[in-house]
Chain A
């Protein structure tokens, strides 16, 4: 029930914005994110931005994946 994709906000017009995923652009509703800014990454579900995507957290998560992928001690945690 939760299909959503990360998109970048390219322009804002009142209660609507234009956002893009790669080359694909569409109009979205931003009523759930009144403080959204152009250039923000947002998660879009059913044509609405439901939350900003925190890029720092995204990079940290990817770094965590990288660490999880490395060999570690018996407890299954990075040594």
Chain B
């Protein structure tokens, strides 16, 4: 597979791992946070943790949009799914996530029309093919996904697909990173920054981390060699006592990002305060659909939503902030497993706890 296989070549990986060991020998203990959930998954998928020297630790951050979306959103989605003429279309990632008392896959089993789509354009097609039903797409994602949601809304508006709407839960990464770096409990020496979010936003939004907080940042891709390269570059910054924002993922990330994608965001959304599981309410960290596109905003539907309940022992919030690892959570593996997930971190396809459960236990 072109532009994938080459970035997984074993001999190049071996060399980079050796370089990581040599650089690490010149540091004290370092911890880097990989912000993006897809990085967490890729690190586990390729078994990268086992290859790192003992004094280099990777900590998972809150970059899992499913994990940071609070129960209330899912409860509202479920309430809409239960309405007679509604179809809820969603990315597969959301299907098994537990809300306060149910999940989308349970609702589907009970007869609600819930459909998994790979793209917002498929949800739009469902709306076109079912003109008497209201199709609500669950708009969960960060800056990588938000323009795809925006593009579907613009197309729905332009082609008068009146029965298509989005329940937006889109969130922005830089405010979350600002909250992380301001948290005294967090001890990291650098950030592995999300490669595909950066495709859209460029590198400039991370500058404050290096400039104001002395935090090394490397924007990395997702293949094994990309991640190893990112770790090499972070270690180099630490060893050389630099704090810069560097782009490792140069084949798709440029400092200016993708202006056309950002124009779509500006046309469709406005920044709003948003609640993040684990981080609380962050100012201007979410995307709300603009009033002029209200016809495609599913937030306008009045529906009874059950009172939000969070499980008392659930430590997803702390795990997402990097304060606890999955293994520190009292429920991990006992009460909370992928079959019976308590929190989103366990059931999200890239949730930190799911990755730890699936890939990281018992690796003696």
Q: Which of A58-79 contact B (CB under 8 A)?
A: 58, 60-62, 64-66, 68-70, 72, 74-77
B36→A1 contact, CB < 8 A? yes
Does the CB pair B145–A1 fall under 8 Å? yes
Question: What bracket does the count of chain A residues touching chain B fall in?
Answer: 35 or more
Q: Do A45 and B148 have beta carbons less than 8 Å apart?
A: yes
Contacts of B151 in A (CB 8 A): 29, 31-32, 48
Contacts of B121 in A (CB 8 A): 27, 29, 47-48
The reply on A38 being an interface residue by CB < 8 A is no
A33 near B142 with CB under 8 A, answer no
At the interface with chain A, which of B193-201, B204-212, B330-338?
B193-201
Residues of A23-45 at the interface with B, using a CB-CB cut-off of 8 Å, are 27, 29, 31-34, 41, 43, 45
B244 touches A (CB below 8 Å) = no
A16 to chain B, nearest CB (A): 8
B94 CB → nearest A CB, Å: 12
Q: Could you tell me the distance between the alpha carbons of A46 and B199 in the complex, rounded to whole angstroms?
A: 14
Docked complex Cα distance between A47 and B18 (Å) = 37
Q: How far is the CB of B267 from chain A (nearest CB, A)?
A: 11
| CB pair B144 A4 closer than 8 Å | yes
Say whether chain B's binding surface is mostly helix, strand, loop, or mixed: helix
Whether, in the assembled complex, A50 has its beta carbon less than 8 Å from a beta carbon of chain B, the answer is yes
CB distance from A32 to the nearest CB of B (A): 4
Q: Is there contact, CB below 8 Å, between A57 and B251? A: yes
CB-defined contacts of A77 to chain B, threshold 8 Å: 236
Complex Cα spacing A27 to B125, Å: 13
In the complex, are the beta carbons of A2 and B1 less than 8 A apart? Answer: no
Known: A1-B64, A6-B2. A69 touches B16 (CB 8 A): yes
Whether the Cβ atoms of B6 and A62 lie closer than 8 Å is yes
Separation of A41 and B148 alpha carbons in the complex (Å): 18
List the A side residues contacting B326 at CB < 8 Å.
none
**Across chains A and B, which 3 residue pairs bring their CB atoms closest together, nearest first?**
A69-B15, A47-B119, A2-B196
